[in-house]
Structure 1
């Protein structure tokens, strides 16, 4: 019986540990046997591969208990990725009893192994007080480590804490630095917030060209407010040549992305013309 799974996902995890022709066809039981043999020899990539097969494979063959077993072995072999995924199984009770404290322990281990997603998850847990008392200091510690490990959402969320002065002293210059890093890591919300900071000189020197650049990046990442903001700069000729046709294009995209102000702005320009 064949298993349907994203080959690109498996190849990403297994890297060059196996010959390319092993994955030239759909993964079948002979492939699984090879991975099982290697996992039994403590090949962490093989264990993760099996965990992925049983957790995101063909739904008819999905077996979260088996997935948990292989992710647990990977975690015991000090795979931060394995610990992180296993923690998620404990959060949702997939293949293992639901146990948030166990999940937190696993996230902590994964974070100590430099898994940025786990560090970010811990930041959210301690900021929001999810099954633990709120602890802003721990949240900042974990967000910072996750951001240092290039987790875009951690940089974004830590930036928001500095921007709003939420459990931290307000520092909009610091927030701008964090938003810029998150934007480079393709977090569209950070691009848009930073664009707005430059547009209005909010914690940074007003710069319409930079504002346009960050609004453009946000729009390219399908943030409706970014498309709208870029459209407004084009409509008013702020930092860019005034261009109502281009403005309409961005207003329409904002509208298509569900941002109502974009719909209104598009209709207004259509009426004017």
Structure 2
């Protein structure tokens, strides 16, 4: 009877692993899901091992997943070939797999990674703002990806790879701002980015009060960069605030926030605090 129950349990587990993949499953479970040909588990395993820098395992699961049209697996495999992680560096293969990731339904991160690589010198790929704008647009509109929307707006603002268009620039900056505000609820980077957009007047009127408000939220979430930016605003209030009259220079507050930045492992905060304390 006990053996019969074991068989039933084992069979049920096999069916579960063969039919589902979920982030709540353990890594071992996701590996079994992948090996049992429910390929979403390959995405999870490949992404996990890539983040852990266990590239051999990452590539193994990424190949299985990508061969079965899983976007995250193709993204991981593309990055592995572009960066020479566990496979021989091959730019053409890397771009091919990232493009495949981008064309699959939920592959917006692959689109964004392509866009970044076409925007920046140093990846061994010729800079191409036309292609970078194309992929930023896909990532922004398909993936609701804040950073992609921001850089697409930047390209429209300065005519990089496209004709300058102030209207579309504002539209995509505002789209990025909306996404960053949503991110701010759970991620301090979103708060910092909202603060920067209000400080710089990207897609919105320059508003130092709102900028400071979001920097404070980020700083309270232990983001050293946000704390540092508050310190800068208090130290250089006259420079930052030449028209609104909202900021007042306050050396004591500046030092307070530089120290908080330092406590949150932002090195420039430590260096600036030390200089002011001489």
Global fold match (TM > 0.5): yes
Aligned Cα root-mean-square deviation (Å): 4.1
Post-superposition offset of 1:79: 0.9
Post-superposition offset of 1:99: 0.9
1:177 aligns to 2:174 (yes or no): yes
Post-superposition offset of 1:103: 0.8
Q: Which of 125, 134, 137 in structure 2 is aligned with 1:144?
A: 137
Gap change, CA 1:203 and 1:120, over 3 Å in 2: closer
Whether the aligned pair in 1 keeps the contact of 2:180 and 2:193 (CA below 8 Å) is: yes
Post-superposition offset of 1:238: 4.5
Gap change, CA 1:55 and 1:253, over 3 Å in 2: closer
Whether the aligned pair in 2 keeps the contact of 1:216 and 1:230 (CA below 8 Å) is: no
State how far apart, in whole Å, the 2-side matches of 1:88 and 1:111 are.
13
What is the aligned partner in structure 2 of residue 45 from structure 1? 40
> How many pairs were matched up?
238
Post-superposition offset of 1:90: 1.1
1:122 aligns to 2:131 (yes or no): no
**Counterparts of residues 147-226 of structure 1 (less than 5 Å):** 147-148=140-141, 149-168=143-162, 169=164, 171=166, 173-174=170-171, 176-181=173-178, 183-184=180-181, 185=183, 186-187=189-190, 190-198=193-201, 204-217=204-217, 219=219, 221-223=223-225, 226=229
1:112 aligns to 2:114 (yes or no): no
What is the aligned partner in structure 2 of residue 6 from structure 1? none
Post-superposition offset of 1:218: 5.5
State how far apart, in whole Å, the 1-side matches of 2:151 and 2:218 are.
16
Per the normalisation by structure 1, the TM-score is: 0.66
Post-superposition offset of 1:74: 0.7
Per the normalisation by structure 2, the TM-score is: 0.65
What is the aligned partner in structure 2 of residue 9 from structure 1? none
State how far apart, in whole Å, the 2-side matches of 1:167 and 1:180 are.
22
**SS of 2:97 mapped into structure 1:** helix
Post-superposition offset of 1:213: 2.5
Post-superposition offset of 1:119: 0.7
Gap change, CA 1:218 and 1:173, over 3 Å in 2: farther
Structure 1 unaligned blocks of 5 or more: 1-12
